[in-house]
Amino acid sequence: MQVAAPAAPAAPAIPTASPVALDQPPQRARFTKLDADGQALPATATDWRYVRVDTGAVRFDMLAGNLDDQRKTHSEAAQACAALGEGWRMATLDELEAIRDITRFSPAVDPTFFPDIHPNFYWTSSPDAEDPDDYAWVVHFRSGSVGLHHRDHRAFVRAVRSVPASQ
């Protein structure tokens, strides 16, 4: 009598990801214009003080406009943001990436909420992992690209403050 060899176990099924539509823009943060008292305004408002940015994970307010429309070294930018008062600081890389829109060009942001962003480099408070004392991350709002700049270079800056989840 001939005995058949045991069957090899079936290979486990490899899960497949849903297809990604490359022509669809990525999920974007929600923006709300705010007046000087922090009250929400319609998107069509022409005079606002802050923009509330809600990524779903974090919320922060960004000062509407550039601080003084001058490029600064990283140290000067950090000082200018802190001089605005308690809670104000330079935006992180994640925060600036939340407002960039890579479906737009020069500038790579929604002009309804950020009409005065220059198509240029903006500092972040995020240091370079390899050389944190000399380099920090920047976002270039012409194309939406990110990169590193030496802290002595000059770039524009956007001031932000964190918003508690309860607001």
For residues 81 and 63, what is the distance between their CA atoms, to the nearest angstrom? 10
Q: Is residue 132 part of a domain?
A: yes
Q: Would you call 59 helix, strand, or coil by DSSP?
A: strand
Q: What is the pTM of this model?
A: 0.81
Q: How many domains does the chain have?
A: 1
Q: Is residue 70 part of a domain?
A: yes
Q: Where would I find the beta strands (DSSP E) of 96-134?
A: 121-127
Q: Is residue 22 part of a domain?
A: no
Nearest to 72 by CA among 27, 120, 34: 120
Tens of pLDDT, residue by residue over 36-85, are 999 999 999 999 999 999 988 889 999 988 888 899 999 999 999 999 99
Q: Is residue 113 part of a domain?
A: yes
Q: Which domain holds residue 118?
A: 30-162
Q: Is residue 20 part of a domain?
A: no
Token couple for 21: 């539509």
* CATH code, domain carrying 90: 3.10.100.10
Q: Is residue 14 part of a domain?
A: no
Is 80 exceeded by the pLDDT of residue 159? yes
Q: Is residue 99 part of a domain?
A: yes
